[in-house]
Amino acid sequence: MPPQTYSPMQPLRIGVLLAPPPVQLLDLAPIDLFYMMSREYLNSLPPLLPQPIKDLGINDLEILYIADTRSTASIAPLTANLTIQTTHSLHDADVQPGTLSILLIPGPDPTQPTPDPYRTFIRAHAEKGQTDIITVCTGIFPACYAGICDGRSVTGPRGLLPDLRKKFPNVAVFEHKRWSVDRFVVPGTTVGENVRGGRPAELWTAAGITNGADCIAAYMRAHFDRELAEIVIRMADVGGRPQDYGNGQFVEQAWWMSTILKALLKRLW
């Protein structure tokens, strides 16, 4: 087993990119899995866990919420009639390429092209090669619009895979995986090494909405202390589903068609 990428005493800075808002609340929610690995969270728990386990937690965790705003304290909408206060603008110095360990991109409206400032921001982080990028559900669209998925293997929401392939023909799209991982290299650039672990940066993509939790659980298992990751995954009761779906795309489409047909017939009768 390779050594873990993130050690407890190293700072972990995670940027959550709202590209653009509103984004899906459930896409964003798995960020809490990272927070649950922090020493701050573990020390707040009842004495269920012994202190040596709590000491495995991340000592210096910072989660930043980023959007193209004029103010770093702007309010951004989410789904379910919820809002979130951003902490940073795209242009702030402390979220520029090389400053983040991980960039999480939850899903925006997939019918709208990603605005250029977000494309530039994502592409710059990719080219720097020091940040792992994780997309959830329609978060794959901003990544593809930024050009960082060309020549890479990704996944996305199953119902939108035909649209994804049509818009981005240079992207290899898995249709049977809940999440996928690939080395993150923009054509024409060199492979950078992640600031921790001495490895190339990675592109992780999650398929449908709640697959974000599956994806981040897999990421945690790959790059954090294994016991710590498993304890948090067990507490959150996620990460139990296999990477591959149990049914193929044909069966999935047939289910949708039959269910929609039943719904239509109910309205007619």
Measured CA to CA, the distance from residue 44 to residue 143 in angstroms comes to: 36
Single-letter residue type at 14: I
| Structural domains of the chain ordered from first start | 12-268 (3.40.50.880)
Q: Which of 233, 220, 237, 228 is nearest to 39 (CA)?
A: 228
- What is the structure's pLDDT at 1? 44
SS3 129: coil
Does the pLDDT of residue 20 top 80, yes or no? yes
For the record, the structure tokens of 141 come out as 């669209």
pLDDT for 42-67, tens place per residue?
999 888 788 888 999 999 999 999 99
Average pLDDT over residues 124-138: 94
Query: What is the reported pLDDT for 193?
Result: 55
Across 151-160, average pLDDT:
94
> What is the spatial distance between Cα 3 and Cα 127, in angstroms, rounded to a whole number?
25
Instruction: Give tens-digit pLDDT for 21-34.
Output: 999 999 999 999 99
pLDDT bracket for residue 186 (50, 70, 90): very low
pLDDT of residue 184: 57
Amino acid, res. 154: V
pLDDT of residue 268: 79
Q: Give yes or no for a contact between 186 and 126, defined as CB atoms under 8 angstroms apart.
A: yes
Q: In angstroms, rounded to a whole number, what is the distance separating the alpha carbons of residues 239 and 214?
A: 5
Average pLDDT over residues 149-160: 94
Predicted confidence at residue 196, as pLDDT, reads: 58
